[in-house]
Amino acid sequence: MTDLQTGIRTARLTLRNFRSDDADALFQLFREPDTLRFTRYNDVKLRGDFDQLFTDHFLNNPTAAAIELTTTGAVIGLIEMHTGGVLTYAVRQAFWNHGYVTEAGRAFVDTMFATQPITMVKGEFANENQASGRVLAKLGLHFAGEIGPFTTKDGQDIMATQYTLSREEWATRRRAE
């Protein structure tokens, strides 16, 4: 049994694998255009498309977690690791600026390094979204360079930045704590 199956607890959150009864809560996040604006999911608008993604991608995915408020059990976001160690996260707008992504991210990155055969965690963010860059820095990732430009599905050209954290850097930090 993996840590995400049993749930990872932080001071305020539980990170756990998605369950079928999380679909409505996660769909609410997908309905907030600014929340997913700079993610790979920014084009999922219709409930049918979301339901297919939820079933195919989020359910039974050992590296995708619901971010749940421990006190209420409400699912407020998602955090996941894609192939190549690429980190994706999002929380509902009502929960921005409370440190939830940083709190979830620290526990999640630690768990991924401890349980997955990854050599590096990568965080990529649109340069317009500097808040995401600040979160990655708080997680211990460091500037690795600009990537892009990328053309979005609606024809916009955007530049992105990548932050990284190697397994060795993570292990050194853990020993120092």
Tens-place pLDDT, residues 78-134: 999 999 999 999 999 999 999 999 999 999 999 999 999 999 999 999 898 999 999
- pTM of the model as a whole: 0.91
Is the confidence at residue 1, as pLDDT, over 50? no
The angle, 0 to 180 degrees and rounded to 10, between the axes of the packed helices 130-138 and 100-115 is 50
Query: What residues have CB less than 8 Å from 135, skipping those under 6 apart?
Result: 89, 101, 102, 105, 123
Tens-place pLDDT, residues 132-151: 999 999 999 999 999 978 77
